[in-house]
Amino acid sequence: MKTTKAILLVSFGCSYLDSKAKTIDQIAAKAKAHFPDYKIYQAWTSKVIIKILKKRERLVIPTIEEAMAAIAADGIESLVVQPTHLINGLENDVMTETVRNHAPKNLKLRFGAPLLTSTKDQKAALSAVVQEFSSLSSKEALVLMGHGTAHEANSVYAALDNMLKNMGYPNFFMGTVEACPDLEDLIRQISLTDIKKVHLAPFMLAAGEHANKDMAGEQENSWKSLFTSAGYEVVCHLKGLGEYENIQEIYMEHLRQVTDSADD
């Protein structure tokens, strides 16, 4: 019997193949296992990363436009779109609009929620990460690097920082590479404590360019270099959020919520 139901997993993309394999690919594998009645498609939104991988690795990743054309050609009648984005920001808004603009007229279309949509999701995502660092002493800090956005949804990062404190981790901090709280805010906050050692970890789906260069790079303006210059011992952890099984399960739960309603 021909499959007429499908799931489209949309990611920003990652140029680091090892991180892609541990995150984006793992989420796709879980979706295939959890939803055997659905055909799984994937698309990336970063045309720059798609171009890099095509040239460097001869790896072809579909854009949203290309994935939607394949979905139409395959005769899919019901489509659930699940972003691996973290927040309901600009990237998610553009993705939603692009999918709608390229959807066949009679396609039944539903969208799953990004990772950090609800307070419950936010607490679950933070819990998955802090468990790995729960043995840090009071003289050690965990600094999480989020992406950040000019979109109003950026307020979630300050909320996450406050949530960490309310969870009993006064030495755990949330920052962003492109918005607020920024690195200057973080260094100033930590300077008011007796912390001597800083652990840096990405709060992004994959440990890609931002994690490897902006966070852990050797250049003088990386987070690692600037914390070192400020007098701290620095340890970098290159593990993307998509590697945490509990976070993968949040995406599966978001998919379940939408596929259940789509099947009604």
**Residues in contact with 250: Cβ distance below 8 Å, sequence separation at least 6, in sequence order:** 115, 121, 124, 125
DSSP, res 182:
-
Q: How is residue 6 written in tokens?
A: 């499908």
Specify the long-range contacts of residues 160-167, CB closer than 8 Å, at least 24 apart. 160/116, 160/122, 160/126, 160/203, 163/122, 163/123, 163/126, 164/126, 164/130, 167/123, 167/126, 167/127, 167/130
- Tokens 């395959």 — which residue? 74
Inter-residue contact 110 to 261 (CB < 8 Å): yes
Amino acid at 62: P
- The count of C-alpha atoms lying within 13 angstroms of the C-alpha of 144, restricted to the half-sphere facing its C-beta, is 27
Catalytic residues: 147
Nearest to 178 by CA among 206, 203, 150, 155: 150
Structure token pair of residue 68: 């939607």
